[in-house]
Structure 1
């Protein structure tokens, strides 16, 4: 399971998603040339996006093929991404198992 958090630059958690995303073949098969941000996720490692990367990431979410992530996770991803864009010194963390 990959969970999602917004963290401050000191490492403290500001917000987190209630829903995670399960690593599966659909997520693993994302073409990095089409999904340059989401295509870099790893199932057992953390992936961190800064403000500029989050802006690119949010453009990818509506283009995801059906079934790659749940609607609940996509909604929370968009909301937490916007939290990063609206704040300062915030990062979006995908926390792998």
Structure 2
């Protein structure tokens, strides 16, 4: 995903999963966290959107399709 300065401005109370993302560090979501991430994507303001949202949704589907699967965001 292409990083923008908008992401750090997300409210950590309303978007704790997305707020955890950083361009410099890794973030890992397990099968119990993926539904929370998907819910945040549903209410993400349009200015934050882009093709990456659909790509993350597809990856979430992969995680939900089996056991012991994780969604990793790898930073710099």
Q: Same fold (TM over 0.5)?
A: yes
Q: From 29, 46, 52, give the equivalent of 1:73.
A: 52
| Residue of structure 1 equivalent to 2:10 | 30
Residue 54 (structure 1) aligns with:
34
2:43 matched to 1:63?
yes
Q: What's the CA shift for 1:96?
A: 1.2
Write the distance in 1 (CA, Å) between the matches of 2:4 and 2:60: 22
**Which structure shows the higher strand fraction?**
1
Gaps of 5+ in 2: none
TM-score, normalised to structure 2, is: 0.91
Whole-angstrom distance in 1 between the partners of 2:47 and 2:13:
20
Structure 2 residue 73 is the aligned partner of structure 1 residue 94 = yes
Q: Give the TM-score taking structure 1 as reference length.
A: 0.73
Name whichever structure is richer in helix by fraction: 2
Give the deviation of 1:31 after TM superposition. 0.5
- Taking the aligned partners of 1:75 and 1:95, their CA distance within structure 2 comes to 18
Q: Aligned residue pairs: how many?
A: 76
